[in-house]
Every structure is written in structure tokens, then in C-alpha cells.
Amino acid sequence: MAEVLELKPARRARGSVRLPGSKSICNRVLLLAALAQGETEVRGLLDADDTRVMRDALARLGIALRARSDAISIGGAGGPFPVKRADLFLGNAGTALRPLTAALALCGGEYAVSGVARMHERPIGDLVDALRAIGARIDYTGREGYPPLAIHEGRVRLAGPVPVKGEARMR
């Protein structure tokens, strides 16, 4: 029989709650800090496969990351990544692959982005189509609509809305 814990209504509450980190939010914070100007200190970053591959990818792109016991310091590039050629293996981290693909398409370099076999079954065609619509040069190096990708220096122009379908279906 399940034990029941009854909580009586409280008039007020006091204290703090530390929520577990979100790999999606953490990877976006890492990417934004890497592109920003100056030093960004992040506390409470989730330690997960997705955030580890993002940190590794950023380091390979020339971003300085210094871990301490309670925080990580990210030296931002202040714009595009300094490394203009890189092969990036992102495991099964869709939370790293998608935003990083968009950033790389704007950075003016030659990049190969891949992951584990399961990652290569996850659709990315809507994102690639949207990036191509603004001038990015991205090729599929495997099956059309799925990673792995080759990202080339393109002529990205941001001059209005870009339609994004977002109707991805797993096959």
C-alpha cells in the first residue's frame, strides 16, 4: 500500500529550490556565451552528455572554457567562431546539433557536423531549408534531410522573415 503524505495549505513559504538543469537551456546558454563578447560565468550547468559534447565542440571552434568546481567560464568570441574549419562530433545531442548548425551557417567557415547513428535518423530538413533560404550553403553528406552535414561559407542575408515549417516526423 502506498504511503500518503498530506500537505496542509500554507500561508507563506520561505527558502530556495534548486531545479535540475535543462540540457536544452544549458546548451543555448553555452552557445550564446561563446558568441558573446567578453567573459561569461555560468553556475549550475547541467553535467550531461549533451552539454559535454557542446563544450567540446565550442573548444574545437576556438572558445576558451575554464571549469571550476562551482562554475564554468566561457571566453566569448564577440561574433563568429575563430576556427574556420572543424569536424564536430556531437554524439546524440540534438540540443547541440540544431542551434550549433544555425550558428555555424552564419560564421563563414567549412564545418562537418555528425553524430552517432541514431542522430543520423533524426530529421533536420526544416532547419536546413530555412538556413538555405537566407543564403547558407549546407549539404547532406548522408541521407537527404538528416545529419551528417557539411556547412560551407555562404552569403547569408538577413532581410525579412524566413518561413520554418517545423513539421518533422521520425521515420
pTM: 0.82
pLDDT greater than 70 at residue 169 = no
Average pLDDT over residues 131-155: 95
Position 167 scores a pLDDT of: 57
pLDDT of residue 162: 59
Give backbone dihedrals phi and psi of 35, rounded to 5 degrees, phi first.
Answer: -85, -20
CA distances, 6 to each of 3, 9, 61 (Å): 10, 10, 52
**For 23-152, CATH number?**
3.65.10.10
Q: Where do the structural domains in the chain lie, given as residue ranges?
A: 23-152
Q: Got the DSSP string for 151-162?
A: EE-------S--
* Alpha-carbon gap, residue 84 to 104, rounded angstroms: 9
